[in-house]
Amino acid sequence: MVPFELADIQSAIELVSSTPQWKGTLQDASIVILTRTLNCPVWTLDYRDLSRFNDLEFWTPATG
């Protein structure tokens, strides 16, 4: 369980609305916000939607 507060939701909405050229969803933006907040790597099946964010670290089983 990961705590997700109203401020996090607002940040995700702002991220989506401030980058109209990005094809990510509110769920993708939420992952970006939480990953930055928790300073942890991202594991996802769809790296394309998050590849715009150079500051994210991606986790794969190969990198363990």
Within a domain: 34: yes
30 domain-assigned: yes
**Domain for residue 3, yes or no?**
no
* pLDDT number for residue 64: 56
Tokens of 17: 């609305």
Number of domains, the chain: 1
Q: What is the pLDDT of residues 2-36, one digit of tens each?
A: 788 999 999 999 999 999 898 889 999 999 999 99
Do the domain assignments include residue 38? yes
DSSP letter at 58?
B
> Domain range spanning residue 41?
23-58
Non-local CB neighbours of 37 within 8 Å, separated by 6+ positions: 8
Residue 55's pLDDT band, with cuts at 50, 70 and 90, is very high
Q: Which helix (H) or strand (E) holds 33?
A: helix 26-38
Question: What is the pTM assigned to this prediction?
Answer: 0.80
Confidence at residue 52, expressed as pLDDT on a 0 to 100 scale: 87
Residue 12 lies inside a defined structural domain of this protein? no
Handedness of CA 44, 47, 53, 54 (dihedral sign): positive
Q: How far apart are the first and last CA of the chain?
A: 21
**Cα–Cα distance, 4 to 26 (Å, whole number):** 13
